Amino acid sequence: DIVLTQSPALAVSLGQRATISCRASESVRSSMHWYQQKSGQQPKLLIYGASNLASGVPARFSGSGSGTDFTFTIDPVEADDIATYYCQQSRNDYTFGAGTKLELK
């Protein structure tokens, strides 16, 4: 299995930039995707193919990276962005990171 490693939590202030990293145990090329999940809801696709914005997603969200190192950014952070964010690879089967909980400072 390809293991995806994310930091467990990140505290940010409203209006600031939030950056979440995801490291893969082997190359996934650009087959990395990012989801937002709020309590009691299903995951929502935000970024696909490492850097492509999903339909209807605000341009405050962005992604970058390839191979094994990926970054997801929210700039600026709004109150509605408080949630858990997951990376997911589709290069070799399908695995998810453990999630990064975005919290307010």
Partner 1 sequence: QVNLQESGPGIVKPSQPLSVTCSVTGYSITTSYYYWNWIRKFPGNKLEWMGYISYDGSIYYNPSLKSRISITRDTSKNQFFLQLNTVTTEDTAVYYCARHRGYNPFDYWGQGVMVTVSS
The number of C-alpha atoms within 13 Å of 101 and in the hemisphere containing its C-beta is 6
User: Does 57 engage in binding with partner 1 (CB under 8 A)?
Assistant: no
Residues β-bridged to residue 22: 6, 70
Please list every residue from 1 through 30 that binds partner 1, using CB under 8 A: none
Least distance (Å) between residue 62 CB and partner 1: 16
Nearer to partner 1 by Cβ, of 80 and 93: the residue is 93
- 3-class secondary structure, 65: strand
Q: Which residue shows structure tokens 């467990």?
A: 8
> Using CB under 8 A, which of 7, 21, 45, 68 touches partner 1?
45
Q: Which of 2, 53, 57, 98 binds partner 1 (CB under 8 A)?
A: 98
Applying CB under 8 A, which of residues 36, 43, 70, 102 lies at the interface with partner 1? 43
User: Could you tell me the smallest distance in angstroms from the CB atom of residue 30 to partner 1?
Assistant: 9
Nearest CA-CA partner of 45 in 76, 72, 16: 72
Rounded to whole angstroms, the Cα distance separating 77 from 85 reads: 13
